[in-house]
A = this chain, B = another copy of it.
Amino acid sequence: MADSDSLTQVRPRRIGADHAPLRDKVAEEIRAAILSGQFKPGERLVEDRLAEEFGVSRNPVREAMRTLASEGLIEVTARRGAVVASLSPQEAEELLEVRATLEGANARLAARRHDPEVLEQLKSVLIRGNAAIEAARLAELSDLNIAFHDHLARAGRNRVLVDLMKTLRDRSGPLFQGVGIEFARESWAEHASILRAVIAGDPELASMLAYRHVLNAGARRPPAAAEDATSPQE
């Protein structure tokens, strides 16, 4: 594919460097499809179909699946293929506990490091979030929520922690989905508290607040509805 005009367009043969291997793009696409809910929990992931859909051979697809399996986004059974992982209530609770712990640890670190620049950015995000709530712009708030957590993660300056939190967040499923404005308000207020504790340089308080923030957010969501899609999907 994409060799349509390889004769007319000469172009100095731009040496590789920029195109990522197909396996990575494929992994990215499948991941996005799972996170967006386009691929539903329990749904089978058939290599041939995915390969055709993405216009590649099965090899990059298979490699992408190993990555996704390690991330916990899909479940692979030998010789029987892969399905989109579905969270049991048990596992959802376990995940939440771990995520809360890690977010807490990160907030603790952030409070200790106390990087003024990052704190300014966090303040800015917080203010914009307040405005978004007043105007009931929930979509924007969702972006700002991600921004807040990203900045806070950076403030902790622990890359291992950041990567782990990201993976676990993905596994936890869609974060903000049809939650009401009152939820958004509460959740955002918690952000403010966390930031205050970080700015005040109180690691234990910041940690505790971040921990509870995650648990609260989890509790406010419907109980994950571990709806196995054992019945046909299309």
* 29 A-B contact pairs sorted by A residue (CB < 8 Å): A16-B79, A21-B78, A21-B79, A23-B66, A59-B59, A63-B66, A64-B66, A66-B66, A66-B70, A67-B69, A67-B70, A70-B71, A91-B159, A91-B160, A94-B158, A94-B160, A94-B161, A95-B160, A97-B105, A97-B109, A97-B158, A97-B160, A98-B158, A98-B160, A98-B161, A98-B164, A101-B101, A102-B102, A164-B164
Q: Is the interface of A mostly helix, strand, loop or mixed?
A: helix
**Assembled-state Cα–Cα distance A64/B62 (Å):** 11
Is the CB of A20 closer than 8 A to any CB of chain B?
Answer: yes
Which A residues have a C-beta under 8 Å from some C-beta of B?
16, 20-21, 23-24, 59, 62-64, 66-67, 69-71, 78-79, 91, 94-95, 97-98, 101-102, 105, 109, 158-161, 164, 168
Nearest opposing residue in chain B for A59, CB measure: B59
- A161 near B97 (CB under 8 angstroms)? yes
> With the chains together, A71 CA to B159 CA distance in Å?
15
Q: Which of A66, A67, A159 has the most CB of B within 10 A?
A: A66
| Chain B neighbourhood of A62, CB < 8 A | 63
Tell me how many chains of this kind the complex includes: 2
Q: How far is the CA of A127 from the CA of B94 in the complex (A)?
A: 31
Q: Which residue of B lies closest to A78 (CB)?
A: B21
Which of A24, A160, A161 counts the most chain B CB atoms within 10 A? A160
Assess the B94–A98 pair: CB atoms within 8 A.
no
Residues of B with C-beta under 8 A to A161: 94, 97-98
Minimum CB–CB distance for A113 against chain B, Å: 12
* Contact present for A105 and B101 (CB under 8 Å): yes
Using A67-B70, A98-B158 as known contacts, list a sample of 13 further A-B pairs with CB atoms less than 8 Å apart, ordered by residue number in A.
Answer: A20-B78, A21-B78, A21-B79, A59-B59, A63-B63, A66-B66, A70-B70, A94-B161, A97-B158, A97-B160, A97-B161, A98-B161, A101-B105
A62 to chain B: closest residue by CB: B63
